[in-house]
């Protein structure tokens, strides 16, 4: 089971680090033009903040466990990413974009699995 949790955690980390870097590095207008309609509802700083939170959360899924420095941060990062994905799902549903909510829902569920397992029976 521990290997499965590590695989899920690694995939989540890749997804959130990639998504976070994209939001931090690209202008909001370019993100909106690429299909991220939600960016039109937020300021440039707001989009960058979401990207930074995703980037740090993705790093927080891996680095504490790998370095052995404060591994309790892994489930905390996963919990924070779960909250971010709940917000993303809510935005998509309110915008009548249920198809767009699916990736956020899947990432949120996987982040919740990491949260519960790393706080629970497979903690570090």
Q: What is the mean pLDDT of each run of 10 residues along the chain (124 residues)?
A: 96 99 97 94 96 99 97 98 98 94 98 97 87
Confidence (pLDDT) at 124: 81
| CA 83/CA 80 separation, integer angstroms | 5
**Which pLDDT score, from 0 to 100, does residue 121 have?**
87
Say which DSSP state 26 is in.
S
pTM of the model: 0.94
Q: What is the pLDDT of residue 55?
A: 99
For residue 70, the model assigns a pLDDT of 97
């Amino acid at each position: 089971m521990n290997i499965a949790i590590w695989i899920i955690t690694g995939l989540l980390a890749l997804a959130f680090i990639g998504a976070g870097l994209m939001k931090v590095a690209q202008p909001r207008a370019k993100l909106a033009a690429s299909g991220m309609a939600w960016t039109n509802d937020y300021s440039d700083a707001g989009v960058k903040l979401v990207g930074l939170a995703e980037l740090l959360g993705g790093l927080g899924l891996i680095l504490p466990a790998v370095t052995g420095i404060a591994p309790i941060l892994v489930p905390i990062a996963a919990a924070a990413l779960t909250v971010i994905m709940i917000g993303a799902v809510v935005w998509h549903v309110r915008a009548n974009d249920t198809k767009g909510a699916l990736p956020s829902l899947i990432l949120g569920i996987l982040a919740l699995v990491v949260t519960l397992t790393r706080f629970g029976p497979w903690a570090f």
